[in-house]
Amino acid sequence: MGDWNRRTVLTGIGAGLASATVPAMAGAGAPKRKLGYAVVGLGSYATRQIMPQFKNCEHSRLVALVSGTPEKLERYGAEYGIPKTHRYSYADYDTIRNNPDIDVVYVVLPNSMHAEYSIRASQAGKHVMCEKPMATTAAEAEAMIAAARKANRKLMIGYRCHFEQHNLRAVELVKSGFVGRPTLITAEHGFYAPAGIWRLDKAMSGGGSLMDIGIYSLNAARYLAGEEPVELVATEWTDKSDPRFKNTEDRIDFQLKFPSGLIANCVSSYSSGHNAFRVTGTKGWVGMEPATSYEGHQMWTRADGKTEQVKLPAPRKNQFAAQLDHLPESVLTGIPLRASGEEGLRDMRLIEAIYRSARERRAVSLV
């Protein structure tokens, strides 16, 4: 336990983790009121994962849509009962300031548009939920934080795993000393990125696999470690003859060194499927695969020479609904945000350091 006392106190996932029942307790104390969300960008994630979840929320409701495609506004407007007065094009986006039903703007656009649309939402006096990666550069992320602060509004990043019960349990197990002193984290994330998607265009994505999927390895390594890295080293492997990779990376692996001596070895790939992590310590390990998926998480632990699968009961709220409700809960009760803009900025700074390390072929000190 002594090691834990020396660890950095987190403001993120670790701080919200009083018990494994976090998703259930998250709404405790919040008045029974629902804040209104406007969803900006009606693409795959918004329409398939996010919008269907409002029905599972206690403090959030979908009240407005923003899209450049009139057919999408018509189709999803009809499906979710959003009146024409609450359907916006990008051209009239700023007029959301005149709509008191909109409390929160959820930015689910390609990465290069996150900063602009988040800042304009803050300037319109709205709270902001922005998808990961927070932005394409740390400078953009800083500007987003400044805009929210100036408007006296909240800014949260869509780190849904901070609200997923297996991830929360893994953090809790590590924190409780179950694995002993953690010595090694492995975190692997990747998928085969098909040609032609905006994720492979640096102008839209800000980078390759690291920006999109490797960020899960990075963020998980940090919340599992419960401390911030002091040094990192990264290596990139990109087959430049592969027409998919004109200006973004395929594989970029990185190693994070933490103050306690803990090492995290992380994989980020656009050419192979990975979704796993494991924290190994002096007494055992806790591992998950899939670890950060939308559903179907599987978890194992090993201690005293015995490997066991951990089965958790279905949570009262899944990760999407818990994430959506967290920002209103923070607005309504004043509880600190678990996935704040500052948390997103930490990842953006590390992402820049990872790219620098790979480019310059050297370790980068973070202190």
Residue nearest to ligand NAD (CB): 43
Sheet-wide strand order for 35-40: 87-88, 60-66, 35-40, 104-107, 127-130, 155-157
The contact mask relative to ligand NAD for 256-295 (x = CB under 6 A, - = no) is ----------------------------------------
Does 41 bind ligand NAD (CB under 6 A)? Our answer is: yes
Does 195 bind ligand NAD (CB under 6 A)? Our answer is: no
Rounded to a whole number of angstroms, the minimum distance from the CB of residue 101 to ligand NAD is 22
Amino acid making up residue 152: N
Q: Does 106 qualify as catalytic in the annotation?
A: no
Among 65, 80, 68, residue whose Cα is nearest residue 113: 68
Out of 11, 20, 24, 43, the residue judged to bind ligand NAD by CB under 6 A: 43
Does 59 bind ligand NAD (CB under 6 A)? Our answer is: no
Which range in 41-49, 51-59, 98-106, 120-128 contacts ligand NAD by CB under 6 A? 41-49
Q: Which is nearer to ligand NAD, 96 or 262 (CB)?
A: 96
Buried b (16+ CB within 10 A) or exposed e, 167-195: bbbbbbbbbebbbeebeebbbbbbeebee
Partner residues linked to 234 by β-bridges: 254
Which range in 104-112, 283-291, 304-312, 349-357 contacts ligand NAD by CB under 6 A? 104-112
Which range in 37-45, 232-240, 298-306, 355-363 contacts ligand NAD by CB under 6 A? 37-45
Rounded to a whole number of angstroms, the minimum distance from the CB of residue 143 to ligand NAD is 17
Beta strand pairing call for 60-66 and 127-130: unpaired
- Please, what sign has the CA dihedral across residues 354, 356, 360, 362? negative
Does 4 bind ligand NAD (CB under 6 A)? Our answer is: no
Out of 12, 23, 27, 158, the residue judged to bind ligand NAD by CB under 6 A: 158
Partner residues linked to 106 by β-bridges: 39, 129
How far apart (Å, rounded) are the C-alpha atoms in residues 64 and 42?
Answer: 11
Give the Cβ contact number of residue 65 at 10 Å.
25
Beta strand pairing call for 127-130 and 104-107: parallel
Rounded to a whole number of angstroms, the minimum distance from the CB of residue 130 to ligand NAD is 8
Q: Does 132 qualify as catalytic in the annotation?
A: yes
The residue annotated as part of the active site, out of 80, 93, 106, 216, is 216
Does 132 bind ligand NAD (CB under 6 A)? Our answer is: yes
Does 191 bind ligand NAD (CB under 6 A)? Our answer is: no
Q: Which is nearer to ligand NAD, 68 or 243 (CB)?
A: 68
Does 326 bind ligand NAD (CB under 6 A)? Our answer is: no
Does 110 bind ligand NAD (CB under 6 A)? Our answer is: yes
Residue numbers of the site for ligand NAD (CB under 6 A)? 41-46, 68, 108-111, 131-132, 158, 160, 198, 204, 212
Q: Which residues are catalytic?
A: 132, 216
